[in-house]
Structure 1
Amino acid sequence: MTRAANMQALTNDVKRAFPGVVVYGIGDKAHQSRASDHNEDDTSGSRAAQSDPDGHPEHRAIDIMLGPKFTKADADALVVRLVADPKARARLYYVIWDGYIWSRSNGWKKTKYTGSDQHRDHVHGSGWAADDENTASWPAVAKPVVTKGDDMSVKASQAIEAWAVGDPSVEPVKWRLRDEAWQKKTDATLAAVLAASKGLDTAGILARINEVAQAETERDAALAELVRRAGTGELSAEQVVDELAKRMQA
């Protein structure tokens, strides 16, 4: 019983990232009664959902089981990373997790899953048959490592985009990084422009710009804290979305 090299590579990376996690592959009797990527192709009587022309029996689906070594927060984060990464999506057929499906057919958008098994206790990943022989690693599996000196803007914007927007094709939000040098340069430039414009309250306009900059700085700090709490498992993906919705309504 052979797993496609593409999905074996994913299995290996998942096990490295989450030592002790349980990953299943070959289908049980329930899967064997219907077409499924858990069933091996090129096998008499087996109902594989996909097939390739190599003539070698192989299955191309894995189930990453929840447990002490792979929590719901881990599953939430892993799915976010996989469906947000174009290279990972190119190697996948679809992903099912916690009542939702992301697939090629729905443009990798988070869609309510209507199957009888809502996949509450495991992440299901089906590999793309055309990529069966791909033995490369899956960088999206690795947990992001954040150090104190890291610029959080890109990491945070990518996480927020994936969770809140739900469309990995959308460019990440570009956060504004405010500092004293930026403020002085902006103020000087605007002051020079506005000074040449008669009838305008230069001081008032600059004061308003400062107010907006301060508000955006506070918002960026709040969003960074939100991403930190999500990364540590304090908040689930659903809770992050709820918090973002509250901020958008404020």
Structure 2
Amino acid sequence: MADWVLIPCLKALFAEFNRIAPRRDKTTDGSIGDPAHRNRVSDHNPDETGAVPIHDADRVNEVHAIDVDKDLNESDLTMEKVVQFLINRCRNGSERRLRYVIYNKRIWSASSGWVQKSYTGASPHTGHAHFSASYDTNLEASTASWHLEDIPVALTAADKAWITNTIATQTQKAIEAKLAEIAKEVLLDYRINGTQTPGSSYQRNLTDLTGDVWFATMVGTTRGGDPLPPDGAFSQIMQDIAELSAKVDELAARLDG
């Protein structure tokens, strides 16, 4: 078991890199320093047993810096975009957990107001970006989002296809749901008086209309028990259909509106 730990805020930063770039190269990822780092002051050294620029308030042996490989292997997401995004958040005060960032022969630090300066250290940091974090107890412990998912990137062809297909699918579902609602109102909910017999409460819907034909043929009355109209069952059904047609027109006008 290691005798040191990486501070939580940088663990969270590593995790966000993995989420936004799941296929990223991790060859030059790092946290604790190599022997060369141990021979000089560095945030890559554990703060209780190594040479570090600041000592925090706790007694936990922690590392306060990470290196993240620059190859994110995403079509429109680059380390340059990530670095600039985080630096802008630091400049506007949205992010306070970083002390400085080094990438591609440049350095930005809180102490200089996040102004870009040339970096002339032994490593040009062209293969990875370096992130050094705060030694403040609350800041180093914070696992709040670094908001890397907010970095704007261009849509890929696959993204566009997914969005198009999703919209088409949702639109189709919405249309089908509306049609089902109309069908229910016409077929089941909308009722036609089924008898003229005083005191009768018998009503029927569209699915019951065929019952009138059966009753007319086998019994000689409507399902409600009334005698057939003088013009026969056909006249009754045509009257029902006219009422239902008017109801369908009403619902169609509501849908168009």
Alignment TM-score, normalising by the size of structure 1: 0.53
Counterpart in the other structure of 1:74: 78
Whether the aligned pair in 1 keeps the contact of 2:10 and 2:133 (CA below 8 Å) is yes
Whether the aligned pair in 1 keeps the contact of 2:16 and 2:148 (CA below 8 Å) is no
Rounded to whole Å, the distance in 1 between the matches of 2:76 and 2:122 is 20
CA distance 1:114–1:30, change in 2 (3 Å): same
Whether the aligned pair in 1 keeps the contact of 2:43 and 2:132 (CA below 8 Å) is yes
Whether the aligned pair in 2 keeps the contact of 1:25 and 1:38 (CA below 8 Å) is yes
CA distance 1:17–1:68, change in 2 (3 Å): closer
Whether the aligned pair in 1 keeps the contact of 2:72 and 2:79 (CA below 8 Å) is no
Give the SS at the match of 1:105: helix
Whether the aligned pair in 1 keeps the contact of 2:66 and 2:131 (CA below 8 Å) is yes
**1:181-220 alpha-carbon deviations (Å, 9 max, x no partner):** xxxxxxxxxxxxxxxxxxxxxxxxxxxxxxxxxxxxxxxx
Give the SS at the match of 2:87: helix
Counterpart in the other structure of 2:161: none
Alignment of 1:39-58 (within 5 A): 39-43=45-49, 46-58=50-62
Give the Å deviation of 1:47. 1.0
**1:135-166 alpha-carbon deviations (Å, 9 max, x no partner):** 1111146432567xxxxxxxxxxxxxxxxxxx
User: 2:10 is matched by which residue type in structure 1?
Assistant: M
Counterpart in the other structure of 2:109: 103
Give the RMSD, CA atoms, in angstroms.
2.5
Give the SS at the match of 1:129: coil
Rounded to whole Å, the distance in 2 between the matches of 1:60 and 1:72 is 29
Give the Å deviation of 1:87. 4.8
1:139 aligns with 2:147: yes
CA distance 1:141–1:101, change in 2 (3 Å): farther
Counterpart in the other structure of 1:112: 118
Whether the aligned pair in 1 keeps the contact of 2:64 and 2:135 (CA below 8 Å) is yes
User: 1:113 is matched by which residue type in structure 2?
Assistant: Y
Whether the aligned pair in 1 keeps the contact of 2:71 and 2:79 (CA below 8 Å) is no
CA distance 1:57–1:79, change in 2 (3 Å): same
Alignment of 1:228-243 (within 5 A): none
CA distance 1:4–1:146, change in 2 (3 Å): same
Unaligned runs of 5+ in 1: 148-250
Rounded to whole Å, the distance in 1 between the matches of 2:59 and 2:32 is 18
Rounded to whole Å, the distance in 2 between the matches of 1:110 and 1:88 is 18
Counterpart in the other structure of 1:235: none
Tell me the percent identity: 33
* Range 138-147 or range 79-88, more displaced: 138-147
CA distance 1:60–1:13, change in 2 (3 Å): same
Rounded to whole Å, the distance in 2 between the matches of 1:49 and 1:10 is 21
User: 2:33 is matched by which residue type in structure 1?
Assistant: G
Counterpart in the other structure of 2:128: 122
Alignment TM-score, normalising by the size of structure 2: 0.52
Give the SS at the match of 1:6: helix
Give the Å deviation of 1:70. 6.7
Alignment of 1:209-224 (within 5 A): none
Structure exhibiting the larger radius of gyration computed from Cα positions: 2
CA distance 1:127–1:70, change in 2 (3 Å): farther
Task: Give the number of equivalent residue pairs.
Answer: 146
From 73, 83, 87, the counterpart of 2:87: 83
Give the SS at the match of 1:24: coil
- More contact order relative to length (CA 8 Å, sep ≥ 6): 1
Unaligned runs of 5+ in 2: 156-257
Rounded to whole Å, the distance in 2 between the matches of 1:51 and 1:72 is 39
Give the Å deviation of 1:73. 6.2
Give the SS at the match of 2:112: coil
Counterpart in the other structure of 1:13: 16
Give the SS at the match of 1:52: coil
**1:32-64 alpha-carbon deviations (Å, 9 max, x no partner):** 111111111112xx1123321110011010101
